[in-house]
Structure 1
Amino acid sequence: MDNLLRKTLRVSDPRDPDQIANALLNFYPEEADRDRREQAGLPYSGVPDYVPQARNTGPSSVEMAQAQDDLERDLQTLSTSSPLKDIRIEMIGWGRSIRQLANDGLAAARLALDSVNHDRAMSARRQLGEYSRLARYVGTLTDGSAILFRRFAQSCDVLAGLILVAIGEGLASNGITRSTSIVRSAAGELQARRNAVIMALRSLTGSVESTLGQEDWPRGIEAYRNLVQQLEAGGQADLRALLEENALSQAMDDLVDLSTGASVEGLRELSTASAMLVHRFQRLIQFGQSIPVPIDVPITSGPPESPPLVAFVSSLQLFVDAFVSKGSSRLLYVARPPIIVYGLYGAGGPDQGAIRLMNLTIARGFLLEQVDCFAGCGCDDDDISCQVLLDYLLFLLDRAIDLYAVGTDPDGLGEQERRATAVGLAIGAALDLTNQLSNPGMLVCEFSDKLKNKLSVIRGELLDPFGAPAAWDPGLKSLMVRELRIAYQAEDQTERLVRSLTPQCDFNVFNFRNNQSLIRWMIRAILQDMFGVGTNLPSPVQMPSPIASSMASMGQNRPDYWSA
């Protein structure tokens, strides 16, 4: 009971009535305030005064209503169009799914300060983009209905874009600035991580009752003893204090309270408080991982072979990761005009990633205009193939914008930006494929000079920050290969769906080279020409050999079936 009172009320002596009384007043602030008002002779009614709430009329509220109305009109047109009566049921299914996505995405975007709602909003945007690309694909291959599908795709694009604006608007209306920390973990998850650290510490220090058998060794106690000795020898008194349960709990609870209070003031405090405390945690993790430190006696025995210490260090690292990897505030620069960003949302201005994000969003509008203009240029096989190619590049550009929107590296060179380089490779491959000087007769596309120049600019925005191909490190190449392989697999599934919704005509877009579709052929060519690899994704599960199989293969001097 004493431990429960210490933990719940945060008192040092649960038998002191004054400490208990003050702790109860702090624990029940509403009742305490009512008692103080009663003692002062003031009204102490618990019913708050009515405060009228202002209607949310943000800068994009009118646009959201217009976009939803346009979507309803386009869905109604597709589901009642006579040329599309063969797929009327499918169009009704599209409408049901897209309405749900739009409503969920916009509702979650307004609450994007919460990590769960932020992820839901970005997921809805991604799915709306996939429906948009699918509609353009089907419309290009459906005679007489292309304009209907493209208008519908445009409505999906507008809603997907408004989700990004709503996320940035929600951050801006809550007072988020560039320096504000946005924790990317839910409150329940943070609490679970905190509890895991405490349980691991108890197991390490031996406070959990356990009986050692004849073949068991006190690995946790021995590791704890060695760790304490090394901390004392190194003069790390502040880290030694973190090995006491109450001190460690208090430190973690302070971070959890600041990050889960849904208060912008708390998040701003967290941006500075977490940096100091997380650094202490990281130093303790380094000692626990036996990283060499400048002390006389290095950690050579005990800790590396101690499962309790490894569990404690791993759980503490998991807790720290929630505050090291912070959310992105780049969408502020999408939702707010650049002229008012400086001063209101930080004195530092946008970072390099935010600048590229703004450039990509501007370029996307111009590219969409040129793509729609090209859609009415003809209906032969080359025109259809070129249209499908442009629509795919537009879809990839949206994915690059999504990656830059969640990036956090101030130099714009983080993993999200590195993954977006695969889009730059695809745009470069499309420009080379349609270049009649380098590939005469491969694919004749009458792209305007403005369109070619804009595609080149977008490719430069995505690839130039990482230098020439000779300067790409193995990690960057690995990310490029993985993104291209994922795109290849996704395109295979999209083509199967498109074939089921369009007339069974012998389009060259499905039989471009070697009985492969245009898009998949292009991705395969990038992987083979630039990286010398195929399109197959590695197996997600590597099955180890069973003991019986390994022993049998050794005894019979034959290869193991599982490892072959």
Structure 2
Amino acid sequence: MPTAANPVSKFRSPATVAVDNLLRKTLRVSDPRDPDQIANALLSFYPDEADRDRRERAGLPYSSVPDYVPLAKNSGPSSVELAQAQDDLERDLQTLSTSSPLKDIRIEMIGWGRSIRQIATEGLAAARLALDSVNHDRAMSARRQLGEYSRLARYVGTLTDGSAILFRRFAQSCDVLAGLILVAIGEGLASSGITRSTSIVRSAAGELQARRNAVIMALRSLTGSVESSLGQEDWPRGIEAYRNLVRQLEEGGQADLRALLEESALSQAMDDLVDLSTGASVEGLRELSTASAMLVHRFQRLIQFGQSIHVPIKIPITFGSPESPPLVAFVSSLQLFVDAFVSQGSSRLLYVARPPIIVYGLYGAGGADTGADRLMKLTIARGLLLEQVDCFAGCGCDDDEINCQVLLDYMLFLVDRAIDLYAVGTDPDGVGEQEKRAAAVGLAVGAVLALTDQANNPPLLECELSVKLRETLGDISRELLGPFAGLVPPPGDASQALMVRELRIFYQAESQTERLVRSLTPQCGFDVFNYSNSNHSLIRWMIRWILNNTLQEPNVDLPNPVQMPSPIASSMASMGQNRPDFWSAG
């Protein structure tokens, strides 16, 4: 029967769901069936018409001269900080685009401003609707882009004489906006009533609908209802697998699973789950967290049965157990649909957006898990590190000091990436894949401490860091490597493979950043792009040092992203060479 949160859930057709997804994407609303949200979204989408209607209601003439500036409504605890951050960003962009020493790159700075304004606007708008997984991903993407602009600005400012302070102030404004995006995501979740116990579906409603359609199409292919004719060399693997699956379910007394093999019953079961997620409302999610448990369990049982079916069709050449491609496609598509409900989204950003003193009573009796606690420590340590790095930046143009500044600014960028990884982590013990990838940042911070250690005679990098700065870097490194006992995993371990891959990605991204910096900075004589005559920049030289000396991995190149398989004729010839009985089988 219809639910309280979705009173017309039984009467929603696929076309209705598609229209709702279009309205949600275009107007940025969470529930397309709420007339108030649609009305407010249309007013925001057409600001000129909205202003004209407001003037008409107020009895004012249709003039382009504004009569007064309405006060901004307080939409959350961070609204004042957000207005201040946006004003600071505008001031910094105006300063960069009108500064006389930067007149040769004035057009580039104007381009930066246009891009960053759009990124910040879209990121903050998406953060307010972070209950939807698509908007959550867009907000995190905007935060990442702001962080990259911040790092690029510090890099350019360090190598530009006389304008470093302007770029660093601009980078600070980008950092503040990037941090406010995290806070806005947490506020959006908190204002929607999300707690640690609320299940958050990490797939959008439109994506769930596509997965549902894929399951139905795979079922039709399995049962033979798709109009297709078999060739003389084709075997009825789908129909044979379907017959064996039905027989085993009947013999095993699994009548409830047998019902799921009917298209109408299976589509109705999946539509109930898809419909609960389309509204993106708290009530729907709470219903989904309980209603999906038993139904998803039935799907998993059907998947297990499907994976155990063997098609008894003897062919002349057999390698392993014979399989049915239609059955494998059906089981795989059903598993893809189930995966959206098995995994839960992270609620750690609640602890970033809300004071810890009120978390216990409002957002779950268990309090913050290990990963959330480490996330809060990282955010505090990041602020301390930024303060000390900015103090260090008041130096001149000495090569060693320039190298140190570039290295410390890069550490700020990496710490932000570690915060992003912990923000989306879900492992309660803080040792999941996101935390393992963040451990690569801990290795990089530890490498900076090792390279600048004055106990070495001589030190590998001539850079004298203050005691407080070294302590802050040491705390960050220990915090990130703490879940793994501060030890480097042995070669071949899965954790080391993740760290190596993350460092390789850092290496490739650094090459692109250097090309941008070279185009925006004067050709000074600093050796930051050719450190110690190694034909590598300082950052890439450091990453190579970590891979070689810490992880014993000399290769820094990523694997080829596109790997084409061999043609069928080559594969058959290779199999014939490896197995002399290949051609005589049968």
Q: Same fold (TM over 0.5)?
A: yes
User: Which residue of structure 2 lines up, in the alignment, with residue 395 of structure 1?
Assistant: 413
CA distance in 1, matches of 2:8, 2:464: 77
User: Which residue of structure 2 lines up, in the alignment, with residue 475 of structure 1?
Assistant: 494
User: Aligned-pair distance for 1:441?
Assistant: 3.3
User: Which residue of structure 2 lines up, in the alignment, with residue 508 of structure 1?
Assistant: 527
User: Which residue of structure 1 lines up, in the alignment, with residue 261 of structure 2?
Assistant: 243
User: Structure 1: any 5+ residue segments left out of the alignment?
Assistant: 1-8, 11-22, 29-46, 291-297, 556-564
Determine if contact 2:147/2:175 at 8 Å carries over to the other structure: yes
Which of 553, 563, 583 aligns to 1:542? It is 563
Which of 135, 160, 164 aligns to 1:146? It is 164
Q: What is the letter of the counterpart of residue 195 of structure 2?
A: T
User: Which residue of structure 2 lines up, in the alignment, with residue 413 of structure 1?
Assistant: 431
State whether structure 2 residue 446 is matched by structure 1 residue 425: no
CA distance in 1, matches of 2:174, 2:457: 35
**Partner of 2:463: helix, strand, or coil?**
coil
CA distance in 1, matches of 2:11, 2:327: 35
State whether structure 2 residue 195 is matched by structure 1 residue 177: yes
Determine if contact 1:289/1:304 at 8 Å carries over to the other structure: no
CA distance in 1, matches of 2:104, 2:414: 30
Q: Larger deviation: 230-239 or 249-258?
A: 230-239
**Partner of 1:531: helix, strand, or coil?**
coil
Determine if contact 2:488/2:496 at 8 Å carries over to the other structure: no
User: Which residue of structure 1 lines up, in the alignment, with residue 44 of structure 2?
Assistant: none
CA distance in 1, matches of 2:457, 2:240: 69
Determine if contact 1:422/1:483 at 8 Å carries over to the other structure: yes
User: Which residue of structure 2 lines up, in the alignment, with residue 561 of structure 1?
Assistant: none
Q: What is the letter of the counterpart of residue 539 of structure 1?
A: N
CA distance in 2, matches of 1:551, 1:315: 29
CA distance in 1, matches of 2:407, 2:241: 60
User: Which residue of structure 1 lines up, in the alignment, with residue 515 of structure 2?
Assistant: 496
User: Aligned-pair distance for 1:338?
Assistant: 0.7
Which of 81, 84, 99 aligns to 2:99? It is 81
User: Aligned-pair distance for 1:474?
Assistant: 1.8
**Deviation digits for residues 466-520 of structure 1 (CA, Å, limit 9, x no counterpart):** 2322468621111111111111111111112111211211213222231321111
User: Aligned-pair distance for 1:554?
Assistant: 11
Query: What is the count of residue pairs matched by the alignment?
Result: 510
State whether structure 2 residue 152 is matched by structure 1 residue 131: no
Q: Call closer, same or farther: CA 1:474–1:92 in 2, change over 3 Å.
A: same
User: Aligned-pair distance for 1:55?
Assistant: 4.3
CA distance in 2, matches of 1:355, 1:465: 12
State whether structure 2 residue 550 is matched by structure 1 residue 532: no
1:111-260 to structure 2, matched below 5 A, reads 111-260=129-278
Determine if contact 2:489/2:496 at 8 Å carries over to the other structure: no
1:86-97 to structure 2, matched below 5 A, reads 86-97=104-115
Determine if contact 1:432/1:439 at 8 Å carries over to the other structure: no
Q: What is the letter of the counterpart of residue 120 of structure 2?
A: A
User: Aligned-pair distance for 1:357?
Assistant: 0.7
User: Which residue of structure 2 lines up, in the alignment, with residue 517 of structure 1?
Assistant: 537
Q: Call closer, same or farther: CA 1:25–1:306 in 2, change over 3 Å.
A: closer
Determine if contact 1:255/1:270 at 8 Å carries over to the other structure: yes
Q: Call closer, same or farther: CA 1:402–1:26 in 2, change over 3 Å.
A: closer
The structure 1 segments of at least 4 consecutive aligned residues displaced by more than 4 Å after TM superposition are: 23-28, 47-50, 52-56, 470-473, 547-555
State whether structure 2 residue 477 is matched by structure 1 residue 484: no
Q: Call closer, same or farther: CA 1:547–1:200 in 2, change over 3 Å.
A: closer
State whether structure 2 residue 360 is matched by structure 1 residue 339: no
Determine if contact 2:212/2:337 at 8 Å carries over to the other structure: yes
Q: Call closer, same or farther: CA 1:550–1:300 in 2, change over 3 Å.
A: closer
Q: CA RMSD in A?
A: 2.8
Q: Call closer, same or farther: CA 1:207–1:554 in 2, change over 3 Å.
A: closer
State whether structure 2 residue 296 is matched by structure 1 residue 278: yes
**Deviation digits for residues 431-489 of structure 1 (CA, Å, limit 9, x no counterpart):** 10000213623222221212111111111111120232246862111111111111111
CA distance in 2, matches of 1:478, 1:439: 33
User: Aligned-pair distance for 1:196?
Assistant: 1.3
TM (norm. structure 1) is: 0.85
CA distance in 2, matches of 1:524, 1:181: 41
Determine if contact 2:219/2:330 at 8 Å carries over to the other structure: yes
TM (norm. structure 2) is: 0.82
Q: Call closer, same or farther: CA 1:466–1:185 in 2, change over 3 Å.
A: same
User: Aligned-pair distance for 1:239?
Assistant: 2.1
**Deviation digits for residues 287-330 of structure 1 (CA, Å, limit 9, x no counterpart):** 1111xxxxxxx857469521111111011011111112222111
Q: What is the letter of the counterpart of residue 509 of structure 2?
A: A
**Partner of 1:420: helix, strand, or coil?**
helix
User: Aligned-pair distance for 1:232?
Assistant: 3.0
User: Aligned-pair distance for 1:397?
Assistant: 0.3
CA distance in 1, matches of 2:161, 2:230: 77
**Deviation digits for residues 317-365 of structure 1 (CA, Å, limit 9, x no counterpart):** 1111111222211111110111111121112211111111111111101
Determine if contact 1:466/1:472 at 8 Å carries over to the other structure: no
Determine if contact 2:130/2:188 at 8 Å carries over to the other structure: yes
Q: Call closer, same or farther: CA 1:276–1:473 in 2, change over 3 Å.
A: farther
CA distance in 2, matches of 1:470, 1:118: 32
Q: Call closer, same or farther: CA 1:259–1:24 in 2, change over 3 Å.
A: closer
User: Which residue of structure 1 lines up, in the alignment, with residue 464 of structure 2?
Assistant: 446
Q: Larger deviation: 544-553 or 271-280?
A: 544-553
CA distance in 2, matches of 1:435, 1:266: 56
Q: What is the letter of the counterpart of residue 484 of structure 1?
A: L
Q: Call closer, same or farther: CA 1:455–1:251 in 2, change over 3 Å.
A: same
**Partner of 2:119: helix, strand, or coil?**
helix
CA distance in 1, matches of 2:264, 2:505: 47
CA distance in 2, matches of 1:497, 1:425: 26
User: Aligned-pair distance for 1:204?
Assistant: 1.5
**Deviation digits for residues 44-99 of structure 1 (CA, Å, limit 9, x no counterpart):** xxx9999x999452001111111000000000001111111111111111111111
User: Structure 2: any 5+ residue segments left out of the alignment?
Assistant: 13-33, 41-71, 314-320, 577-586
Q: Call closer, same or farther: CA 1:472–1:255 in 2, change over 3 Å.
A: farther
User: Aligned-pair distance for 1:259?
Assistant: 1.6
CA distance in 1, matches of 2:527, 2:515: 15
User: Which residue of structure 1 lines up, in the alignment, with residue 580 of structure 2?
Assistant: none
1:101-112 to structure 2, matched below 5 A, reads 101-112=119-130
Q: What is the letter of the counterpart of residue 375 of structure 2?
A: L
